[in-house]
Chains A and B, each alone.
Chain A
Amino acid sequence: MANYDVIVVGAGHNTLGAAAYLQKCGLKTLVLEKNAIPGGGVTSKELTLPGFKHDTHASGVVHLQGHPILTADELELKSKYGLKFAYPEASYMTIFADGDTITCYADLDRACADIARYSERDSEAYREMVGMMGAIMPMINMSMARPPLPLAAFMGMLSQMPGGNDLLNTMMRSAYDVVTERFENEKVRIHLLKWVMEGLNVPCEHKTTGVAMLYLIGFSHSHPAGVPVGGMQSLTDAMISCIKDNGGEIRLNTPVKRVINKNGVAKAVELASGEVLVADKAVIASIHPHLLGERVEGLDPGVVARAKLYQATDFGGMLINCALREAPRWTHAPAADSCLYINLIESSDLNELRRYADQLRLGELPDQPILVASNHTNFDPTRAPDGHHTLYVFSWAPGVLADGGMERWDDIKEQRADEVMAWLAKFAPNVSGDNILARHVDSPLDMVRHSPSFQRGDLNGGAMFLYQMMGMRPTPELAQYAVPGAQGLYLSGPFMHPGGGVTGGGRPVAIKVMEDLKVDYSKIIRS
């Protein structure tokens, strides 16, 4: 008789979410984590100096704002386990080198007014797109929090709805098509397209990215982004409190070597130490599709081969976390102090942004850094000692460099970070010299070392192309979380529906597991 109903491999955002739901519904769970700190992509550490808390990967919580974890507090993270958010007035802004800014305030009228400074017509187009999404946001939120629908069925359903063909068409176009068709002002176009690229980590000219433009715009006003007080780690810690409080266990520093698949049943894991742990009912594991064949033996070679074809994004990025003596002063842009994601771009020529995207697609570093910065201490002063600040600088970069592959990152990351910081200082001159008390640089290679879910430096765990979404993520046969030929094994991670980011993706896995096990979850999961 095993001591646990379910063993969960990996304590990342998705797997922890799954464990928390299962445990709350009465299944005894054990979570195994290779790192000393739980959270996967949702962690904060004192990377620079004591007292400075830095988000090491994900930063800011967007998708989850429309998820029952927060909207219905299903896991009591807010009411019982101390999770609190600060909500900036604006989620996203662009600062151009000439001093122009465009700011996406949570308040729609204010956001439209800001765009109207550049183009009345664009402001109206923006409002129209928010309206297009307004009607279907509840459906989208629900579809993200449950196991995925078959993609074709979803498309078929959409094409039957009023206005659905227009949405279907927009889903399959590129964000570039959608934006250049609907918006006329070059700066507004850059502002919007850069946002899509940041959200998806793919060039905005790829067809099927149009849906992301709609989603981002719709989401910003229905569910504006928040910052967990105390750092992203607070979200992870709240989930862990929920698991433990309900009787679950977590073992850190416990790498798992493989899932044991015996006669088509996978309910045990072997640790790197050699120890074997057995679950009574199921194993949930965060195994990237590219690693499936290595970590689970005895699978059908076709299943493994198709999982290997799962595509990573064109680019990820390099993260520089800084401890600052004083807050950045953004030239010309005081609005930046009330905005979560501050984007900097030198040129007002859309073709230059396209060129950088081409460079990333071909595995080159863009000629000019493209970056997003967040000054979290503006909204959450607890993250730094009195009066001091943190700065989070994420600049886009290919995970796999055409010249030198991933390995080369160790050689170039500090030098590239110098370039990025020098360039950033053009927009905030005081982010330089002894105002930078310390910094820490993570390259795409460092990120893979931290988590194998980030294969090839892809922080979404695989590209968010339409053919890798919903019932096709990561492949059609793996999309329902169960693994054919390994009964009892379920996959969880950013490479599964609903995808990368802080999405509460463990909930659909838990639903699937409990449906298979005939566990009644209706008291906890209500929708």
Chain B
Amino acid sequence: MASHDVVIVGAGHNTLTAAAYLARCGVSVQLLERHDQVGGGAVSRSITLPGFVHDVHATGVAHLQAHPIVTHDELGLLSKYGLEFVYPDASFMSVFEDGVTIGCYKDLDRTCADIAKISQKDAQSYRRMADFMAQIGPMIGMSMNRPPGRFGGFVALIEQTPFGAELIQAMLKSAYDVIIENFEDPRIRIHFLKWVAEALCGPEEKTTGINMFFLIGASHSAPAGLVKGGTQKLSDAMLACIEANGGSVRLNAPVKRLINSGGEVKSVELESGEIVTAKKAVIAAIHPHLLDRHVEGLDAGLVRRARSTTSSLFAEMVVHGALSARPSWKVGEAPHTALGVNLIGEMELEGFRRIFDDLRYGDLPKDYIGHVAVHTNFDPSRAPAGEHTLYHLGLAPYALRGGAQRWDDLKEERADWMMAQLEKFAPGVQASVKARRVDSPLDMERYSPSFQKGDIMGLGSYLYQSLGLRPTAELSQYAVPGAKGLYLSGPFMHPGGGLTGGGRAVAMKLMDDAGVDYTKVILS
């Protein structure tokens, strides 16, 4: 006998969000999570030494800052469930090996002034793009937090706005095209190219050009924050909201399959053999590449199209460090004001481009570009007094030449190389590492099946996998044709990877279908 309205498979960021919205709207939910901790990609653990809290995957909360979860506190996370953010002055800063720094600050004028130190013209271009985004930002923001519109309709709508044609061209161009057209200084160009590459698309990949506009827009309207106590606190706040509203989670409860009975899915089978049944619906975090493995009886064409979705061009590896002292940047204190610090080894634009060619072929790049965050700069609670955490990302191919399995043998050696590169920017940092933990793209895939091919974005953020086409047109509305009652949720669905509060749209869709009134909770 079903005891809950909705059973939810996976307690990751997106499914937790969906569960919290449903619970707040009076729908009873049961979450099933295979790990011993909720959060999926939004987790923190003491993976190095006791007392050091590390964000294992997602860190820094950007998209959510413009989401009604934060702007309207729709779930009460801020007012009731203990969620707190700290906001660094700069969301990121590029540091070049020769000592040049360029920051991206919340304040647009300060950002432009920093760019103008190097190029007056580039600062003007940046301001033009930021002003442009300020005009259309609200429309874009709203489209992120609701079920996606039809792709064709969205594109036609954009075409009607001022600058619409330019924006559509940008959507189809590469970020590289957009950056080269708008900025002239080689360093400024690399500064932005590295930034857009954080979406895990190659800068030269067409249909990613819009990302540059989005990043600029978000940086100044809703700059990124850091969750006090670790990203886990965001997941914990969501769980508190769910539990306060009568929902519950079962940890260590891996699900084997969804039971499709006569075209209807209302039950799941746990690996233990136990069957859990929902009264109304099942929401599941099932990556499109795994759809047929977990749900039987689906149309073969639908399965093929789901399987043909493309992963991001490359993945990342991360080195977590417990540090006895704060890194001492060669360029001085400035990087300590930034949430993320992008480190650019000595290279010309051409060398930068070749890094992404290496990644395409499954080679480890020979040149270094890294991303470092010292969260304890803003949130000392994450380490014992006077000590610090290090979060050090490097670009890495998932499918190494010779196979992804090679990662287990290679990752420590690669981490050594990354740390030796970092040493050039922060002398002494290696000596300060008391313990470290290295995660390869293969480790990330093992951790969450949503990260197929190590892709923490779920799927590549290409235009043909955006909006009403993510992950495919027929699956984009969260419901699964041929499996009534089943809804998909995860980074591979609209609005995409990262901490996007993506479960809100799923909850809305489900409640629209089930005739649940959500207007008291969901205000916009």
Contact = CB atoms under 8 A, between A and B. Distances in A.
Interface in A452-494: 465-467, 472, 476-477
B169 A472 contact: yes
B152 interface: yes
B423 interface: no
Interface stretch (A31-39, A137-145, A154-162, A424-432): A154-162
B462 A207 contact: yes
Given A169-B464, A177-B310, A152 B156 contact: yes
A362 B472 contact: no
Contacts of A181: 308
Given A206-B206, A465-B206, A155 B165 contact: no
Given A168-B464, A169-B469, A465-B172, A362 B151 contact: no
A89 B394 CA distance: 53
Nearest to A469: B172
B262 interface: no
Interface stretch (B239-247, B353-361, B510-518): B353-361
B173 A465 contact: yes
B168 A151 contact: yes
Contacts of A168: 151-152, 464, 469, 473
A156 B361 CA distance: 35
Given A311-B177, A465-B173, A207 B473 contact: no
Contacts of B156: 152-153, 155-156
Contacts of A362: 350, 353-354
B152 to A, nearest CB: 3
Given A150-B159, A172-B207, A155 B152 contact: yes
Contacts of B206: 174, 206-208, 465-467
B150 interface: yes
A158 B464 CA distance: 13
Interface string A193-220: 0000000000001111000000000000
Interface string B280-324: 000000000000000000000000010010100000000000000
A98 interface: no
Nearest to B181: A309
A177 B308 CA distance: 9
Contacts of A206: 204-206
A440 B497 CA distance: 55
A309 B463 CA distance: 22
A210 to B, nearest CB: 9
B472 A169 contact: yes
Which bracket fits the contact residues of B?
A: 35 or more
A165 interface: yes
Nearest to B476: A165
A156 B473 CA distance: 13
Chain A CB within 10 Å, residue with most, of B156, B181, B205, B353: B156
Nearest to A151: B168
Contact of A159 (B151, B159, B361, B462): B151
A172 B168 contact: no
B273 interface: no
B205 A158 contact: no
Given A173-B464, A358-B357, A467 B153 contact: no
Interface in B140-182: 150-153, 155-156, 158-159, 165-166, 168-169, 171-174, 177, 181
Contacts of B361: 351, 354
Nearest to A203: B204
B466 to A, nearest CB: 10
Contacts of A177: 310
Interface residues of A, number: 38
Chain A CB within 10 Å, residue with most, of B165, B305, B354, B361: B165
Interface in B201-260: 204-208
A267 B138 CA distance: 45
B158 A152 contact: yes
Specify the main secondary structure of chain B where it touches its partner.
helix
A361 B356 CA distance: 13
Contacts of B464: 168-169, 171-173, 207
A166 B159 contact: no
Interface string B316-359: 00000000000000000000000000000000001001100100
A155 to B, nearest CB: 5
A156 B310 contact: no
B152 A156 contact: yes
A207 B151 contact: no
A350 to B, nearest CB: 11
Contacts of A172: 172, 207, 462-464
Contacts of B158: 152
A152 B168 contact: yes
B152 A160 contact: yes
A309 B104 CA distance: 26
A180 to B, nearest CB: 10
A165 B361 CA distance: 30
A207 B172 CA distance: 9
B469 A165 contact: yes
Interface in B435-486: 462-464, 468-469, 472-474
B469 A156 contact: no
Contact of A166 (B204, B305, B310, B357): B305
Given A152-B158, A169-B472, A206-B206, A472 B165 contact: yes
Chain B CB within 10 Å, residue with most, of A152, A311, A465, A476: A152
Contacts of B166: 476
Given A207-B205, A467-B173, A472 B473 contact: no
A334 B14 CA distance: 60
B183 to A, nearest CB: 13
Nearest to A208: B206
Nearest to B177: A311
Contact of B473 (A159, A358, A402, A466): A159
A496 B447 CA distance: 51
Given A168-B469, A181-B308, A159 B152 contact: yes
A472 B207 CA distance: 15
A165 B473 contact: yes
Interface in B354-378: 354, 357, 360-361
A156 B155 contact: yes
A155 B169 contact: no
Given A159-B473, A172-B463, A208 B152 contact: no
A155 B151 contact: yes
A168 B173 CA distance: 16
Interface in B267-287: none
Given A172-B464, A181-B308, A472-B169, A208 B151 contact: no
Interface string A441-455: 000000000000000
Contacts of B473: 159, 165-166, 168-169
A364 to B, nearest CB: 10
A208 B357 CA distance: 18
Contacts of A309: 181
Contacts of B172: 172, 208, 465-467
Nearest to B170: A467
A153 B150 CA distance: 13
Contacts of B181: 309
Contacts of B168: 151-152, 467, 472
A159 B150 contact: yes
A47 B77 CA distance: 78
A376 B78 CA distance: 75
- 6 tightest CB-CB pairs across the interface, nearest first? A156-B152, A159-B152, A165-B473, A172-B464, A467-B172, A476-B165
15 contacts: A152-B155, A152-B156, A156-B150, A156-B153, A165-B472, A172-B207, A172-B464, A181-B308, A206-B204, A207-B174, A207-B205, A465-B172, A467-B169, A472-B168, A476-B169
Interface of B: 150-153, 155-156, 158-159, 165-166, 168-169, 171-174, 177, 181, 204-208, 305, 308, 310, 350, 353-354, 357, 360-361, 462-464, 468-469, 472-474
Given A165-B469, A472-B169, 8 more contacts: A152-B152, A156-B150, A159-B150, A159-B473, A207-B206, A361-B204, A467-B206, A472-B165
